[in-house]
């Protein structure tokens, strides 16, 4: 399973990319709005750091506007993927941009029915938001199970990009279900590394080693 980071922070992306486990980046208007500087320049810098897909979202809500912004976003860098919302115009824009060979990630997906439309529109990625479903007392990971089943039934090439992941269990469950990608904030990637027994074990190994060196000296 590929691991993407969901942030617009260049500093965080640099740090995670240096670990060698990062496959791509997702951004959204809320995340990019937090960063200083020009958003196009920021996306370009992110693309130069990450050797994988970087999603940038359109803010237009009409078809013509999405196509215009989609072309602009795609022209920033060859790694750019255009994010369109799960609306009628967003699906239409997805179909048109995908037809031109531009990769599209359809975002704000909250049902299997929507995910089916996304695949039919030829999207490269579908982004179901699991954390936001959990927030309204609906099991977000159940949606991932349904989408993976449907896409497998028909061999749709659209990749399932599990979004709005809030904790490591979302990531592990996504991997168990055979999702293609999980995207999560930098803090959740940090949490994936942690286990108290690793720290305790390492501390003991180093202490034992040090003790033996003192005895030998």
Which string of x and - marks every residue 110-139 that binds ligand E4P (by CB under 6 A)? Answer: -----------------x-x-xx-------
> Please, which of residues 41-70 interact with ligand E4P by CB under 6 A?
none
Candidates 83, 95, 204, 211; catalytic one? 83
DSSP structural state of residue 163: B
How many residues bind ligand E4P (CB under 6 A)? The answer is 11
Sequence-distant (6+) residues with CB within 8 A of 162 are 128, 130, 144, 170, 171, 174, 179, 181, 182, 183
| Catalytic-residue membership of 45 | no
Strands 181-184 and 2-6 come out as: parallel
In this complex, which beta carbon is closest to ligand E4P, that of residue 98 or of residue 127?
127
The reply on whether position 107 binds ligand E4P by CB under 6 A is yes
**At closest approach, how far in Å is the CB of 7 from ligand E4P?**
9
Cα 84 to Cα 10, 21, 65, 172, 181: the distances in Å are: 23, 27, 11, 27, 18
**Residue 121: phi, psi to the nearest 5?**
-85, 0
Catalytic residues: 83
- Residues in touch with ligand E4P (CB under 6 A): 6, 26, 28, 107, 127, 129, 131-132, 163-164, 183
């Amino acid at each position: 399973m590929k691991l993407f980071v969901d942030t617009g922070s260049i500093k965080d992306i640099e740090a995670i990319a240096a670990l060698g486990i990062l496959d791509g980046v997702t951004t959204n208007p809320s995340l990019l709005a937090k960063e200083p500087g020009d958003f196009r320049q920021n996306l370009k810098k992110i693309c130069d750091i990450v050797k994988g897909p970087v999603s940038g979202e359109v803010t237009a809500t009409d078809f013509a506007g999405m196509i215009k912004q989609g072309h602009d976003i795609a022209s920033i860098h060859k790694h750019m993927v255009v994010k369109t919302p799960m609306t009628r115009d967003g699906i239409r824009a997805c179909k048109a941009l995908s037809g031109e060979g531009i990769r599209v990630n359809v975002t704000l997906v909250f049902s299997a029915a929507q995910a089916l439309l996304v695949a039919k529109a030829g999207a490269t990625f579908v982004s179901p938001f699991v954390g936001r479903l959990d927030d309204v007392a609906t099991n977000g990971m159940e949606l991932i199970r349904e989408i993976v089943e449907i896409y497998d039934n028909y061999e749709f090439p659209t990749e399932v990009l599990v979004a709005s992941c809030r904790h490591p269990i979302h990531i592990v469950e996504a991997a168990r279900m055979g999702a293609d990608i999980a995207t999560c904030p930098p803090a959740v990637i940090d949490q994936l590394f942690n286990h108290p027994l690793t720290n305790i074990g390492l501390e003991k190994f180093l202490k034992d080693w040090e003790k033996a060196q003192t005895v030998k000296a």
